[in-house]
Structure formats: C-alpha cells, structure tokens
Amino acid sequence: MDKGLDSTDLVALSGAHTFGRGQCGTFSGRLFNFSGTGAPDPTIEENYLRLLQDLCPQGGNASILTDLDPTTPDLFDRNYYSNLQQHMGLFTSDQELFSSPLAANDTLPIVNNFSSNQTAFFESFVVSMIKMGNLSPLTGSNGEIRLDCKRVNNVSLSTTTTTTSATAMEELETDLNEGFLTISTLPDKGRCLFATKHFYPGEVILREKPYVSVPNNKSRCDGCFGTSSLKKCSVCQIVWYCSTSCQKEEWKLHRLECNALSKLDKERRKSVTPSLRLMLRLYIRRRLESERVIPATSMENYKLVEALISHISEIDEKQLVLYAQMANLVNLMLQLPDVNIKEIAENFSKLACNAHTICDNELRPLGTGLFPVISIINHSCLPNSVLVFEGKLAVVRAVQHIPKDSEVLISYIETAGSTLTRQKALKEQYLFTCKCVRCIKLGQPDDINEGAIVEGYECKNTECDGFLLRDSGDKGFICQQCGLIRSKEEIKELASEIKSLSEKVLDSTSSQNNQEFVTTLAIEKLKRKLCHRFSISLMQTRDKLLKMFMDLQNWHEALSYCRMTIPVYERVYPSFHPLLGLQYYTCGKLEWFLGETENGVKSLTKAVDILKISHGTNTPFMKELLMKLDEARAEASYKQTLT
C-alpha cells in the first residue's frame, strides 16, 4: 500500500471491532437487499442473520445499536476473527476479510492465524497502530482533521498546542540568554546549545532539577535517593522515604502515583520497573501542571518534553512492541481520558534517547531523571563539558575553555573504547552516528592502531610491547613491533576460557562471593595472557578485583591493583575526566592509609586538580577531599621534620 501498510496491518487494525457497536442503518442493507439483489448477504450465518433481522426490521429504527462482536463484546480478544470464521461479521468490510474470493490468498490466512493465536494478534495490532499513527494527516490546503468525522469543519483545527510549545521555547531561550547560553539549530544535528560568552574549566554552565525522576533501587528514598532510615509507603508498598521532609516534597506527585499503583494487584506491582514509574510520573506531572497544582516554569514545563526527539520511526519492530506493551500497562494504571497508547509509546522512545542516569559523586548510578533542557546538549567523544549531579540536581561544568559562540558538548556514553565500539553504543542507544573530532578518524591508521591497543591482543614475546593487527592472510595476528604471529586458534581458545569463566561469575549468587573472587582472579590471569597491557577489558577486571580486595580489607593488594589501572586510565581518558580523578583519589587514600604519605599526597593532589574542575570546590564531597589532602600534606611535612 502507498501508505506503508500491508494486508497484515489491514486485518490487525480491523480487529479493533472486537469492541464497539454499530447502528442498524449502517448494515441493514446486508439483511434484506444485499447489493440490490432483494435478498440477504449469503455470507451471513443463518442464525446470526435472523437475530439481526429481529433487531433491525425493515423500516425500523436505524439508530438501534448492536455489538460488533456478539460473543465477547466487552473483551479485547481474538474472538472477532473466530466470528468471521463462523460468518458472523457485522459489516461487509469485516466479513470480506474471510469470505471474499480475493481473501483466499491474502487476508484469509491472516484471519485464521489471529483466530488461533491471540498473542500474534496483539503484537501485530500494536505494530500496526503505531505505523498508522505515524502517518502524517493531510492539513492546510490539502485537507483537514475533522472534529466530527461526519462533518467538514466550520473552522480550521486549533493550533494551540504548537503555539504553546513555541511560547515555551521562547521563554526558555530568554532564561538561557541570561545565563549566556542560546539554542541554535544545525541541519545535521538539530537543536544545539551554544555559549554566548567564554566559559573556563570548572565554571558552571547550567543547572537543572529533574522534571521527573525515580531511584533505580526499590530500597532507596524517592526524595533524595538516600538509603538510611527508610520507611515504605503503607498504601502502594513500593515507594520508600527516609524522612517526613522527603515524603512531603514528593507528596503532590506520589498521591496520584500511589493511587495508580494501587490499581494493580500485589504480584503485578512487583513487576513495575523504574522505567514504568518514570513514565507514570511524567503523565501525572503533566496533569498536575495543567491543573496548576505544580506551576510550569521556563525550565520545568511539559511543553519542553513534547519538543524532545523520539526517533520512533527508526526503532525496530521488536522494540516497538515492547514500548507498546509498557504503554498499555501505564495506560491501565493512569486511566486518564486524554492519554493514548501511541503517545505513551512515543514517550518511552523519548526517555530512551533523552533520560539521564543520576549518579553520586563517585559516578555510581542511583536512579534516572528526565532533564529536558540538558537534553538539548549534544554529544562528543571529546566533550568540553561534563555532567555531574549534586543530589538530584544536574550540573554541567566546563572542563575545557569554551570560546564564545562555541557549542557546549557532553558525553552520552563511556568514551574509553575504540571508535567502532563508541559508534556502536551511540547507534544502539541514541540512534545517531557521531561525527566528533575523534570519530571522524574512523578507519585511519592511527585510529586502527589505537583500537588494537585498547581492545586488542598482547604480543607472545613477553619482552615486546607491540600491538597486533590481523595479518593479510587471515591466519592470525601479527605484532607491529617484532613481527611475531599469534594464531587465531590460540586467541580463540583463551577468549573461550574467559567467556566460560565470566558466565560462571554472572551465575554466582551472593552466597558464593568467595567463588566469584577466585574466578575473577582466574579471569584476570587469562586476560594478562591474551590482552595488551593497555586493554580496557583487562583494566575493568582489575578494577573489579580492586573493589573485591577493598571489601576484604586487603589494602596492599587493593593498592597494587589500583596502580595497575592508573596507566590505562591515563591513556583512555582525557586529562580532565572525572573517572581519572576518582581513580587517583582511591589510589591516594590507599597510599596514605598504608603509610606511603608522600605518594598519597601526589595522588590526592592529582585527584584534586581534576575533580575541582568536574565537581567544583563547594560540595561536601570536594570539601572532604580537600581536607584529606591538607591532612596528608601536614603528615608528610611532619615526617620530614623527623628525618
């Protein structure tokens, strides 16, 4: 079909007639004078025909209503198709899907499939509804959207929504201008945030509270994301609070959320994920905004959410079905008249592309929040700014000098990877191909070589520090320094062992911590044989062992593994990256604790030099770090006086 819909879509969408009623006047011709023959439609089942003739006699009341689905009129199910098989379709357009001569090789097999497989019908209906919803209606001089489907509009459709959205963006632009920022639109990037003055490293560019947010753990306060002194909501039994003040702060939203969650039975409530709660809260906030219970501002306004890009047309069918199923559950909880499943599904797509993980000061994830203004900021694999959080407040700080009239850029993903790895992550999650200063080097010799170092293999010669590239004969990998070849079979065998052990770790339970520790040590040993010393994979395993040794209070081994990771951090992250600063911080604390005070001072100083730019200097986290550095320096000075 020219609108991108096919026969499966036609049959699936017709299944909407499992609900609803029809007036006698719309089908009475089938009952008495089908196509001018003076006889009933021969495709109507005999008993069903008599029932309809009694209900709608010739010359009777044409406005009498009857169910479209005579068997289960109040259920959304597959019985509509079973009715067609029994020749009990109310409208000609229904029955023709099964009975017309053209149906045999087209729609009839689809009807039979949906009749026997309700899941297939539900999944196809979801996909078809979204496809139909994505069709652009004819407007302007080409047509109009009717307010009443039986009548041409007397006036054109209101443009209130568009006007309001434009007004919201104008108000936001005014506020941003006061902070020396402006929104521009570029052909290849869409909306962008630009600086209208010079910003210098450590300077705050933008602060934003989450429009909506949820913790990622059920045992975390909904107000502050804390974990102490928690008490569960006595009604919904899902949400936790640490204090009366947090509960009061969240009450306007949670009052309605609690009511919505309580509509589900206890078992179904357990399956409510953070993503579902975030969407539920989004619509509740919209309602409270429209009722002026929560005031809309230039930075906190549902119109800014409407302006976000969803990429819904680029999402594969499987993901669309998942979004639609989630949307159906949200709709079931909301039960609001002005909400439809397609809109909710599209908003799930918006959240996937625009929501941010809220982290603590050490970049450990706490929850998820939607920050519509910060979502305007584009990605770069070599950003000039960093997004951190002070509680739930998002803070964007410059990490490089940003000249006036330059674009503000942050990173959406983990940037410690090859260009191919980064491109894959961005395409899968955010549905775009990055063209930043790092990514434009894709496929160039330096880019290929760097990928082989951070994601490739070690030379078999332990005295050699070279990296390996696949040889032209595809027999293995050849060292670019000494020329030694490493066979594909050897690499495959080691990789297989690592994969097998890694799966064991994933399957282990909390009661098997010792086994997990032993297995992780074995994985690290194998990776040392396989991976280049600057391998990100090896670094990540050593990071895991560092945390395990710290949990075991084996401080010497913890420091040893921390030091092993530092050179890799220095290579794969820019000099201003907070993760590098945090690794120096860990190293410095361990060195100081173990009596290596001078080394501790050096590491803590490096940590401060980075983290004061990304985290500022006035947060409790940074004040504690600065205090530790002062104490370590005082101790080092004292020790020097004793020598």
Tally of helices (H runs) and strands (E runs) in the chain: 23, 17
Helix (H/G/I), strand (E/B), else coil: 287: helix
At residue 126, does pLDDT exceed 90? Answer: no
Let me know: does 329 contact 276? Beta carbons within 8 Å. yes
Q: Report whether 77 belongs to an annotated binding site.
A: yes
Residue type (1 letter), 63: S
Give mean pLDDT, residues 539-544. 98
Distance of CA 262 to the CA centre of its chain: 26
Adjacent-strand bridge partners of 41: none
For the stretch 342-399, pLDDT in tens is 899 999 999 999 999 999 999 999 999 999 999 999 999 999 999 999 999 999 999 9
Whole-number average pLDDT of the chain? 91
Q: What is the pLDDT of residue 626?
A: 97
Helices 317-334, 341-354: inter-axial angle, 10-degree rounding: 120
Pick from 165, 154, 120: which is nearest to 15 by CA? 120
Q: What is the pLDDT of residues 286-338, one digit of tens each?
A: 999 999 999 999 999 999 999 999 998 888 888 999 999 999 999 988 887 77
37 versus 525: which is more confidently predicted?
525
Give the model's confidence band at 555: pLDDT under 50 very low, under 70 low, under 90 confident, else very high. Answer: very high
Which residue type sits at 543? Answer: D
The token pair at 342 is 């397609």
* Rounded CA separation 9/47 (Å): 31
- The C-alpha angle with vertex 169 and arms to 164 and 172, in degrees rounded to 5, equals 125
Q: Tell me what pLDDT residue 152 has.
A: 45
- Helix, strand, coil content of the chain in percent (nearest 5): 55, 10, 35
CA gap 393, 605 in Å, rounded:
27
What are the residues whose beta carbons fall under 8 Å from the beta carbon of 27, sequence distance 6 or more?
52, 56, 90, 91, 92
pLDDT category, 144, cuts 50, 70, 90?
A: low
Q: Is the pLDDT of residue 509 over 70?
A: no
What confidence tens digit (pLDDT) does each residue in 226-280 have?
999 999 999 998 999 999 999 999 999 999 999 999 888 888 888 899 999 999 9
Instruction: Please check if 69 is assigned to a binding site.
Output: yes
Joined together, the tokens standing for residue 150 give: 């039986």
pLDDT at 43: 92
Residue 28: CB partners within 8 Å, gap ≥ 6? 56, 58, 62
Buried b (16+ CB within 10 A) or exposed e, 323-351: bbebbebbbebbeeeebebbebbbbbbbb
Kindly tell me if the per-residue pLDDT of 578 is higher than 50.
yes
Quick check: 371 and 211 in contact, CB under 8 A?
Answer: yes
Confidence band of 1 (pLDDT split at 50, 70, 90): very low
Residues 155-178, mean pLDDT to the nearest whole number: 69
Q: How confident is the model at residue 102 (pLDDT cuts 50, 70, 90)?
A: confident
CB count within 10 Å of CB 418 equals 20
- Whether the per-residue pLDDT at 160 is higher than 60: the answer is no
Q: Identify whether the C-beta of residue 202 lies closer than 8 Å to the C-beta of residue 612.
A: yes
Scanning 33-74, the segments in alpha helix (DSSP H) are 46-55
If pLDDT is split at 50, 70 and 90, which confidence band does 131 have?
confident
> Where do the structural domains in the chain lie, given as residue ranges?
7-134, 211-358
Q: For residues 581 and 596, is the Cβ–Cβ distance under 8 A?
A: no
Instruction: Using CA atoms of 529, 534, 535, 540 in order, give the dihedral in degrees to the nearest 10.
Output: 100
126 by Cβ neighbours in 10 Å (0-12 / 13-18 / 19+) ranks as: buried
Residues 468/480, Cβ–Cβ less than 8 Å: yes
Q: Could you tell me where the DSSP H helices lie in 7-117?
A: 7-14, 24-32, 46-55, 79-85, 92-99, 108-116
pLDDT at 406 over 90: yes
pTM, two decimal places:
0.76
pLDDT at 163: 54
The least confident of 258-262, 452-456, 524-528 is 258-262
Alpha helices, DSSP H only, in 335-372?
Answer: 341-354
Q: Give tens-digit pLDDT for 25-48.
A: 888 889 988 877 888 999 999 999
Q: Would the annotation count 17 as a binding residue? A: yes
**pLDDT digits over 49-65, tens only?**
999 998 888 877 777 88
In contact, 192 and 182? CB cutoff 8 Å: no
Look up residue 443 and give its amino acid: G
- Which contiguous run of DSSP H or E holds residue 506? helix 488-507
CATH architecture for the domain at 7-134: Orthogonal Bundle (1.10)
Q: Which of 217-221, 453-457, 509-513, 519-523 has the lowest mean pLDDT?
A: 509-513
In degrees to the nearest 10, what's the CA dihedral of 577, 578, 581, 582? Answer: -140
Find the mean pLDDT for residues 195-205.
98
544 and 530 in contact (C-beta within 8 Å)? Answer: no
41, 92 Cβ separation under 8 angstroms: yes
pLDDT given at position 20: 84
Which residue has better confidence, 599 or 35? 599
Higher pLDDT, 345 or 1: 345
